């Protein structure tokens, strides 16, 4: 298992290098001079020149890239062009709401998605199967912003059960997590259903039933365990998308998270903040995929040997 994890870790290094190069080039490809933006529109040519020197923009490109990586992984993220504040201080309070939103969304989406998929698979071809799958397709098809606005209208404005936006305790995450996790739950339900149906046709399942093993044990132990590999794949990939996909939901519910900060930074062309957030989002996606690969090895030891 240790060799398997080490191999997966080494495989992520080239990906991290490529992603970091793309993010680094982002600030050099967009129009405008970062030094002029940071110095301000009233800055003199001399002040802009000093700012370019302080930012290291006069250094060769490869040196700027290595300094960018060194500063990022050492925690020196630079300062915001808009506010002049250290980016690290801006990110820390924003990270918690985004992480909570993603965790709450993936937890309820995974639980309800797996249960819905099992119910649908066991009742394949019956009315309950069609009902669950219609709900799953609806969950994938509904636009996030529309679903979020409808939930606000019904549960916040009409019923007054939850706040319309912002962060005011754990109940503030209920509607945003439902909005963000609806599509994920539907996808997990569909993959769980198809995986379960395939496994329930396997000879060892028929043998278990022929031996008189109860249907609950056949489904809950033998079939579900083997179908979890596909489910883990979807959950892992979708968790990576959740952190990045929180941008829209945080905007609809006015949650002060990383996604909202990214939108504000784009509107104000705060390139240094945009660069750091993009790299964080891509790195977390790589880490989540690495965790999924490790989970493969735990759920199915044959994968390690392959």
pLDDT above 80 (res 273): yes
Which residues, including other chains, have CB under 8 Å from residue 77's CB and lie 6 or more apart?
71, 86, 87, 88, 91, 276
The answer to whether the CB of 288 falls within 8 A of the CB of 236 is: yes
Q: Is 202 left (phi over 0), alpha (psi -120 to 50) or beta?
A: beta
For the CA atoms of 139, 140, 143, 147, what is the dihedral angle to 10 degrees? 20
Q: What is the pLDDT of residue 30?
A: 64
Which whole number is the average pLDDT over 267-296? Answer: 79
Q: What is the pLDDT of residue 214?
A: 75
Sign of the dihedral defined by the CA atoms of residues 83, 88, 93, 96, in that order = positive
pLDDT above 70 (res 121): yes
Distance from C-alpha of 96 to C-alpha of 70, rounded to nearest angstrom: 25
Q: What is the pLDDT of residue 131?
A: 86
Q: What tens digit of pLDDT does each residue of 11-68 get?
A: 778 888 888 888 777 766 666 666 676 666 677 777 777 777 777 777 788 888 888 7
Nearest alpha carbon to residue 259 among 176, 185, 182, 187: 176
| Confidence band for 228, pLDDT divided at 50, 70 and 90 | confident
pLDDT above 80 (res 125): yes
Q: What is the pLDDT of residue 135?
A: 82
Q: Could you give the percent of the chain with pLDDT greater than 90?
A: 0
Q: What is the pLDDT of residue 66?
A: 84
Q: What tens digit of pLDDT does each residue of 160-214 get?
A: 888 887 877 888 889 999 988 888 888 888 888 888 888 778 777 777 777 777 7
**How far is residue 98 CA from its own chain's centroid?**
10
In 201-270, which residue ranges form alpha helices assigned H by DSSP?
Answer: 203-210, 215-217, 224-252, 258-267
Q: Could you give the percent of the chain with pLDDT greater than 70?
A: 88
pLDDT above 60 (res 244): yes
């Amino acid at each position: 298992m240790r060799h398997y994890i080490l191999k997966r870790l080494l495989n992520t290094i080239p990906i991290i290098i490529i992603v970091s190069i793309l993010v680094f080039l982002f600030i050099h490809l967009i129009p405008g001079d970062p030094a002029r933006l940071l110095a301000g529109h009233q800055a003199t040519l001399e002040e802009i020149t000093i700012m370019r020197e302080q930012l290291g923009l006069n250094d060769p490109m490869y040196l700027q890239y290595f300094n960018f990586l060194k500063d990022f992984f050492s925690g020196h993220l630079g300062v915001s062009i808009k506010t002049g504040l250290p980016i690290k201080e801006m990110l820390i309070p924003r990270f918690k709401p985004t992480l909570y939103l993603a965790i709450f969304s993936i937890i309820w989406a995974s639980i309800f998605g797996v249960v819905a998929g099992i119910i649908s698979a066991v009742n394949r071809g019956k009315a309950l199967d069609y009902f669950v799958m219609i709900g799953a397709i609806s969950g994938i098809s509904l636009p996030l912003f529309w679903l979020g606005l409808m939930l606000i209208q019904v549960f916040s404005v009409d019923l007054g059960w939850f706040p319309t936006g912002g962060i005011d305790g754990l109940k503030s995450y209920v509607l945003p997590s439902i909005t963000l996790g609806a599509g994920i739950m539907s996808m997990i339900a569909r993959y769980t259903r198809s995986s379960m149906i395939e496994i329930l046709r396997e000879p060892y399942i028929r043998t278990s039933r022929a031996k008189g093993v109860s249907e609950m044990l056949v489904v809950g132990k033998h079939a579900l365990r083997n179908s979890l590999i596909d489910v883990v794949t979807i959950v892992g990939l979708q968790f990576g998308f959740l952190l990045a996909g929180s941008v829209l939901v945080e905007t609809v519910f006015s949650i002060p998270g990383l996604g909202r900060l990214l939108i504000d930074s784009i509107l104000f062309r705060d390139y240094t903040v945009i660069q750091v957030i993009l790299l964080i989002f891509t790195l977390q996606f790589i880490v989540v995929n690495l965790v999924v690969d490790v989970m493969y090895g735990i759920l199915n030891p044959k994968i390690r040997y392959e």
